[in-house]
Amino acid sequence: MRRASEKTSRRFECLPSIEMMVPGLLAILVVQGFRANGYRWLPGLWLETLFFLLVPILAMCVFLPKLTNLETEQAKKRVINWLCGGAGLMVGLSIAVQWFSRQVGLGDSYEIVALTTLLNVAWYLTVFSSFGGLGRAAFMLNVALVLFICFMSDQRSIFVLSFLFAISALWWLLGAYWSRINQKLLDGNSTTLPVNGMAIGGTLALVTVAGLIAWVLVPRQSSFNVTGFSFFSGGEQGFDDIFAQSGVGDGQMLTGGSNATTTGPVESDTFIEDDKPSIYDAMMDTFDGPIFKKKQLHRAVALEKQTKHLHDVVQSEMSGKSFRTVREPAETVDLKLEDRITKALFFVEGSVPARFTIDCFHQFDGWDWTKIKLESEDFVNPRISVKRGAKPWFVLQRIPRPYLSYRRAHRVKVMRLGTNTLPAPSLLESWHIHRVDDPSLFYWNEYGMIRMGGELIPPHTMIDMISRVPNYHVLRSDQNFQLNNHPSPAWEMVDRFLGVGTKSGTSAGKRHTGVHDSDSVMLQLPDNETTSRIISLAKSLTESKSPGWNQVEAIVNHLRSNFEHDDQRVPDPDCEDSVGEFLDNGGGPGYLFATTATQLLRAAGYRTRIASGFVVQDDDFDRRSNQSVVTKENVHMWPEVSLDGWHWIPVEPTPTYDIPFSHQTWWQWMKAQASSCIGWMWYHPLTTIITMLILATTIRFRRDIVAVVCWLGWTLAVFLMPNRRLKLTRQLIDARFWAAGLPRPKFVSTKNWSSQVDTAAGRDFFRFWWIENFSKQSSDSLSRYEVLTACRQIISDLSFIRIKAFAKTRPTREKS
Amino acid sequence: MIQDLNDTSHVAIEGLRAQLNNALVGKKDVVEMVIACLISKGHLLFDDLPGLGKTTLAKSLAQTIGGSFARVQCTPDLLPSDITGFNIFDQKNQSFEFRQGPVFSDLLLTDEINRATPRTQSALFEAMAERQVTIDNQTMTLAPTFMVIATQNPVESHGAYPLPEAQLDRFAMKLNIGYPNNEDEIDMLGQFIGNKFEQRQIGQVLNMAELGKIQDQVAHIEVCEAVRRYLVDLGAATRNHAMFELGLSPRGLITWQRVAQAWAFLQRRSFVVPEDIQAVAVPVLKLRVSTSTEDPEYAVREIIESVAIPTEKK
């Protein structure tokens, strides 16, 4: 009997300690998590990880009987040699697996191979860490690996895992330290160690919390980690100002001018070195120049004439009346933030994504977008009024609609914008300029844009603007919009009977008068071959959808998901129609996305115009000045749809741009999340099934998992004070009974409850337990070692498996 | 380390246990309670049928502790003076001479106590509670180890005077011996082949002084605050329980604590743990359960289950 228990305990000594396993497992997670970023087939990666996780464990299981029978020192040394050889085998195995995975089209780069090989060896050593110095070697390897990954990675999850690794590694170190001291104390001195478990736990918890707070709140930049040690170089809010601590060169002088909250020009070369670009300049720079229309020429013409034609186009574009969709491929410019600040057209404070409309076009002939003067009674622009108060606000009297329930504010500071059109966010409602309250200063131009009197908005003008935000959910659920756009079939029949002709016919008839009704303009399609394609495409995209916003979204999403944004894929200069080219090419620059979307939407019967202006996205945000910088690179074109004839709602067909900002209620958000979640699950069946299985297993074995986790916690708390240790042990026993489905009733003591499994179990433990809790004797007088032994004894006597087995037989026993 | 109790006391207790178990076969738990009652200076009430060994046990107990033993068979015509003793006029000396009654013994067995009139019962109760008797304005002290073992017969209730609930407080516990199991009865029968029933030899294992010392030790067993609080909570629970006509009195609580101390002593511990309180709860509380209750043990269990057992000190 004694021999058997001795054997068990020796076997136990061969197994790796929990303090060793936890850092090892965390190191695996860190490295594989790093590797998973961009891995081609994730299940393959995790299979491989599982394989290498299990190989050393299986080896341990197989060789355990042999390892426990080591008697002589020589045998032990020999085993260590064999184990080192095993590490070599692990290297070979790693390379072999890598070779195999390359054969099936996976595989990694050489440095990752080296990394995983080291990781596998580290894990192998971790499993055999109870032999000689292998534990320390494994620990060092793990630390090195995690440290390396920390330097290489910027993923949050990796940092979290590394942080946990650091804690567990610290735990191991402490454990190693205390166990050494314990061994020394065993030689006779039985006094307790001067360590308070609470103090250590508290310190660790504090460090954890502080670390997490620092990690969440402090922006990750090395200069911020040494806050208080950097040079002070100004700033507006004293020492706490981030500018004050971010080194020399970006002080108040430079940033003052570009900050939207400051006014007044700053005498600096950066602001006077070039002219203010107009929207045409911005477009020219971003989309490059328009192309001369060769195909229209059926005979050779003199170069002079060609140049004149191009000159006309350029003139037309410069005056802002047209936009050619067949252009040279644009050169991509990647400006640094500093350069962007000096080249800023305007600055924006407020939430992004936001789009600021400068101009819009209505008519398309296959090549050019042109503006059409609108009849004032056909498309009523909201009246501009002034609300005078402490601050004068210009207000647009917008018709309230249920889908415009939410507002947001922006502050724009115009820098070098060469236009007198208000850079207005979509669905602008009101705006304010300091001390400006003359309503005649602003007016609607004939193309539906708000202009400011004068040639251009003065630089450094600061405009506060409030705009409405569409709620897509309301739009989707409301299906009455379409009614405005389609005349009823009865009216169409009357029209035909009277010989008035179709809608396009009437608009064509009206067009030559110079002014146009909004419907005919906003639903206009060019008269070419592509139009039939567009109409059939629009029909196929929308026929399964209910009319209204759902159809609009279907068209936009089709473009977003099936076409590629590529500024270089410009239409062939010989082409007849840029939209047809775009459809053939499967993609193109942003303005062709907008053009195609507009055509499709018009074909589906929705009044659409194409807007040009600036899109501000997350990338444009300058954290230091807390505002977004808008340069020529932000120039963009997008369609705007009017479902009800009152408001232009922007849509974004270009996939690389964020969809326009929208608002949704919590309930709508939850519904959207749920449906997207279900959608995701539909497209990832394997992952879903595996996750479900894991979840089901977790739920099924939740009690067992709790028992194991409690046991882990108990194991890790090796250096608690005896009284804490006793308490933790009792709690673990209670937890085990609970997990086994036999929770201890409150009126029964742990001893009486556990005696039903084994009357003799934990006699020593309960003796200590009683002394600690019910006698005057201080627990300090208890021998730490004896308490530890008693705790270990009862935990091994009342094993979870034993309690579970007892719980299973209990009902039958009770019956009998 | 844990045990600084006098080992000689435990040797004596061990002997006591052995002797009593020899006298009352197969009733180890009853014997244990009887010993606990003895060393906690409590009085004992047996509620049992005749012939189950109550008298045997009491007699054996008296023999083992080497004390004087007296027995009173209660009947309705039993007078208080038959128990306490009386003054008699001595013709020779021309003076009153006190004749001691059976209470002036170390162990008094009062059989069928519920047959005595309330007047007689109350005379006995004074002796039990105060360990003294007053006759003709003369107060006489009884032996410090004086213990009453009373029996009552639950079957023949006709012509009986049931003990008032308030008076029951004076007993420390109420025990049922019950029938032994078949195996023990077979053994018992074997023991009496060739022996007369009265001839069983019970040896003395301790004397009165030693018993007094043990009782003193028991009184000093430590009861920490958590355990005392537990005891008070249990007491409060009895006061709100339907099956208890009268809740546990403070005197009842003191008795319970003392019996628990004795129980801890028997477990060779120098302090009381909550498990001790529970272990002696049934005999202690059974006294207080209303007589109408079918299953008094069930009522006690309900009380125990209504209060959470203390786990940690704090």
Strand blocks (E) in A288-421: 322-324, 346-350, 354-361, 363-364, 368-370, 384-387, 393-396, 406-414
* B-chain residues near A767 (CB < 8 A): 2
Residue in B227, B271, B308 nearest the CB of A746: B308
Of the ranges A718-732, B192-206, B253-267, which one carries the lowest mean pLDDT score?
B192-206
Cα end-to-end distance, chain A, whole Å:
31
Q: Using the beta-carbon criterion (under 8 Å), do B273 and A774 form an inter-chain contact?
A: yes
Q: What is the pLDDT of residue A350?
A: 86
A59 contact partners, CB below 8 Å, separation of at least 6: A86, A124, A127
Residue to mutate among B228, B230, B265, B273, with most A CBs inside 10 A, is: B273
Of the listed ranges A239-253, A411-425, B47-61, B159-173, the least confidently predicted one is A239-253
| pLDDT exceeds 90 at position A785 | no
Q: Name every chain A residue with its beta carbon within 8 A of the beta carbon of B4.
A: none
Minimal C-alpha gap between A704 and chain B (Å): 24
Nearest to B2 among A752, A767, A773 (CB): A767
Who contacts A604 (Cβ-Cβ below 8 Å, separation ≥6)? A538, A539, A541, A542, A551, A552, A555
Is residue A494's pLDDT more than 60?
no
User: What's the gap in Å between the CA of B97 and the closest CA on chain A?
Assistant: 52
- Which residues from chain B sit within 8 angstroms of residue A737, using beta carbons? none
Provide the percentage of residues in chain A whose pLDDT is more than 70.
75
Check CB contact under 8 Å for A770 and B269: yes
Answer yes or no: pTM beyond 0.80: no
Q: Do A774 and B274 touch (CB under 8 A)?
A: yes
Cβ distance B311 to A730 less than 8 Å, yes or no, reads yes
Contact A751 B275 (CB under 8 A): yes
pLDDT band at A391 (very low <50, low <70, confident <90, very high): confident
Q: Inspect the interface and report whether the beta carbons of A746 and B313 lie closer than 8 Å.
A: no
Are A128 and A60 in contact by the 8 Å Cβ rule? The answer is: yes
B85: distance to nearest CA of chain A, Å? 46
Bridge partners for A410 per DSSP? A350, A465
- pLDDT of B281 higher than 60: yes
pLDDT tens by residue, A603-631: 888 888 899 889 988 888 887 778 888 88
Residue A371 confidence (pLDDT): 83
pLDDT tens for A572-608 read 877 778 888 888 888 888 888 999 999 899 888 888 8
Residue of chain B whose alpha carbon sits nearest to that of A773? B313
Strand, helix or coil for residue A278: coil
Dihedrals phi, psi of B289, to nearest 5 degrees = -70, 140
Write down the pLDDT at residue A310: 60
With tokens 């053939």, the residue in question is A584
Collect all residues of chain A within an 8 Å Cβ-Cβ radius of residue B313: 772-774
Give the chain A residue nearest B301 (alpha carbons). A747
**Closest alpha carbon within chain B to A726:** B312
Residues in B lying within 8 Å of A, measured between beta carbons: 2, 222, 224, 226-227, 269-275, 278, 304-313
Higher pLDDT, A633 or A213: A633
Strands B44-47 and A462-469: unpaired
What's residue A251's pLDDT? 44
Chain A, 671 to 690: residues with Cβ < 8 Å from chain B are none
Residue A669's alpha-carbon distances to A217, A350, A479, in angstroms, are 26, 22, 20
Contact B44, B173 (CB under 8 A): yes
Interface test with A, best of B4, B220, B269, B312 (most A CBs within 10 A): B312
What pLDDT, on a 0 to 100 scale, did the predictor assign at position A278?
Answer: 67
Residue from B4, B223, B229, B311 whose CB has the most chain A CBs within 10 Å, to mutate: B311
**A755 and chain B: CB distance < 8 Å anywhere?**
no
B contacts of A745 (beta carbons < 8 Å):
305
Q: Which tokens in the block code for residue A561?
A: 């998901």
Distance from CA of A749 to the nearest CA of B (A): 6
One-letter amino acid for residue B138 of the chain? Q
Strands A322-324, A368-370: pairing kind = antiparallel
Closest chain B residue to the Cα of A772, Cα to Cα = B313
CA neighbor of B106 nearest in space, from B60, B55, B146: B146
- What are the residues whose beta carbons fall under 8 Å from the beta carbon of A225, sequence distance 6 or more? A218
